[in-house]
Chains A and B, each alone.
Chain A
Amino acid sequence: MQAWFADFKADFKLNFIDAARWKWLVEGLGNTLKITFFSLLIGLVLGIVVAAVRSTYDKNQEAMAKHKGVGYYVFAVVNAVCKLYLTVIRGTPVVVQLLIMYFIIFATSRNDVLIATIAFGINSGAYVAEILRGGIMSIDNGQFEAGRSLGFNYVQTMIYIIIPQVFKSVLPTLCNEFIVLLKETSVAGYVGVVDLTKAGDLIRGRTFSAFMPLIAVALIYLVLVVVLTSLVGVLERRLRRSER
């Protein structure tokens, strides 16, 4: 027992204390959080825009088709582009998207954290868009009609009547999407980003001791995910209580 403990201490020292290797983990965690946070922002903006285009098109297609103007055709094209975006992004692995971003689209840039952030942002935008659109579609059409029949235009109906209801129903799902995103960024090492996972792996390569760094990495992810998940749980309970 004593011997095992001494081993453990030596191993710990080798992996984290020597050459201040713990700093790699801190730096990696910093990059992981940075990439997650900013790609979350990009994803939200993209997702909101795409969801708005897609559901506006679906809801107003008939009315616009009646008096076909230039706007109608422009809108149809924009809608088709959004659809293509959703299909491509959701139909290919995120690692492949990341590699394409890094080696093809931004081949001349070596700002790997930025490129990874953009890649994950574009990826999560597609999922956010579908979550939001699902939320909008799940609202009874009678709510739209009631809003429109009072004289609200489409945008006002969305703002005052639909979005507050969608927000409540999709917020937990959205938060879970971001927890998934946090874990997904662990493939950022493919394009040379030293994120949390890569940092652990680098330590392993130096010390030739796999257990400590990899378990440490796993524990850090686990703690983050557990904390975030419990926050979502609190949020969910709050929302349900205000539902009456």
Chain B
Amino acid sequence: MSDKMNQDSVICVCGLKKHYKGGVIKALDGVNAEIKRGEVVVVIGPSGSGKSTFLRSLNMLEIPSEGQIFVNGVDIAGKGVNINEHRQKMGMVFQHFNLFPHMTILKNMTIAPTTLLKKSREEAEKKAMELLEVVGLSDRALAYPSQLSGGQKQRIAIVRALCMEPDVMLFDEPTSALDPEMVGEVLDVMKKLAKQGMTMIVVTHEMGFAREVADRVIFMDAGVIVEEGTPTEIFDNPKSERLQGFLAKVL
């Protein structure tokens, strides 16, 4: 998988399947995809189509039933892979933020770099404060998660992941749990990140974001990728009936 052709591909997914209940539920039914370095890929699709399962497989939060996931040329679904090292390089942002409630914001952001990357506390805190500055929350460094609004929590969750200096960022519906007035502030942070060249895979229902920021949009339905292309191709020129039907409902 490390031949020249794929040198700029960070992730390469081959025949990925995830079955539940002994194969009755096929959450993923043979997904093939390639993600290039610096690419922003938005995944859309109806509820239950397997978007989360796909995203979470890239991090081994879901264990594939079949198939391979090459990250920088290594099959992370294979035997003898140190999944923890792999995860350090792949940040993940969840719908429900999942900040650690017993730690301050600063501690939330420094616990992983200090423990896993063996960074000194000063170094980790310096980096954390820089990132807090970027998302406009430096004054909340010593607050606890329960003292923040949803939008603030999600911005913290994003920078917490960034503290590990990941190669790739995964977002699973990062704005779905937010009040409408807070969606913008989170999307703005993600746009900034995209501009800086971060490789991003984003599951979202924010079609405006997809249109504006995505290099490529993937449409999933019933556990497979039905159609993919540039935002223009997907939104203005949908080919498959399923995508047309989906867009008719959400736009």
Contacts and interface: CB of A to CB of B under 8 A. Distances in A.
Contacts of A146: 92, 94, 98-100
A150 B98 contact: no
A18 interface: no
Given A142-B98, A244-B146, A244-B147, A148 B116 contact: no
A160 B87 contact: no
Contacts of B88: 150-151
Chain B residues touching A, range? 20 to 34
Nearest to B79: A67
Nearest to A161: B100
Interface string B88-116: 10111010101111100000000110011
A153 to B, nearest CB: 5
Given A148-B87, A151-B85, A143 B164 contact: no
A145 B102 contact: no
A150 B63 contact: no
B230 to A, nearest CB: 29
B100 A152 contact: no
B164 A151 contact: yes
Contact of A149 (B79, B91, B100, B147): B91
A116 B96 CA distance: 49
B146 A150 contact: no
Contact of A160 (B92, B115, B160): B115
B59 interface: yes
B115 to A, nearest CB: 7
B94 A151 contact: no
Contacts of A150: 87-88, 112, 116, 160-161, 164
B84 A140 contact: no
Contacts of A164: 102
Contacts of A145: 61, 92, 94, 98
Nearest to A157: B84
B98 A152 contact: no
A150 B89 CA distance: 8
Given A151-B87, A151-B164, A63 B100 contact: no
Contacts of A111: none
A209 interface: no
A152 B147 contact: no
B223 to A, nearest CB: 19
B246 interface: no
24 contacts: A63-B63, A67-B79, A142-B94, A142-B96, A142-B98, A146-B94, A146-B98, A147-B100, A148-B61, A148-B84, A149-B61, A149-B90, A149-B91, A149-B161, A150-B87, A150-B112, A150-B116, A150-B161, A150-B164, A151-B87, A152-B84, A165-B101, A165-B102, A244-B146
Given A149-B91, A150-B164, A151-B112, 8 more contacts: A140-B98, A143-B100, A145-B61, A145-B94, A149-B92, A149-B161, A152-B112, A156-B115
Interface of A: 62-63, 66-67, 140, 142-143, 145-153, 156, 160-161, 164-165, 168, 243-244
- Per CB-CB distance, the 9 closest pairs between chain A and chain B, nearest first, are A151-B88, A146-B98, A149-B92, A142-B98, A150-B112, A151-B87, A153-B84, A151-B84, A151-B116
